[in-house]
Amino acid sequence: MTQTEVSLTKEQIMQELEQLPQPLLLEVLKVARALQDPSEADRSEASKSVRQSDGWAAYLASKQERAEVYRRLANS
């Protein structure tokens, strides 16, 4: 990845962060720290944060609701 690509990626991340409410910023911080220092405790905390997020809850609901569709796709 070139320096320009790195700078562009950082800028895109900053733009996205500016849109997030404070509680989600705290979750992002936990995940970022876990990525930098992947000790067991940090990974566990980051994983817990992700599982508890609204997005994760929506995914799980969707997965359960569409279980039959996923089963058919897997068997085809």
Residue 36 has pLDDT above 70, yes or no: yes
Give the span between the Cα atoms of 51 and 47, in whole angstroms: 6
C-alpha to C-alpha distances, 51 to 56, 57, 72, nearest whole angstrom: 6, 7, 26
* Statement: residue 29 has pLDDT above 90: no
Residue 10 pLDDT level (bands cut at 50, 70, 90):
very high
pTM of the model: 0.46
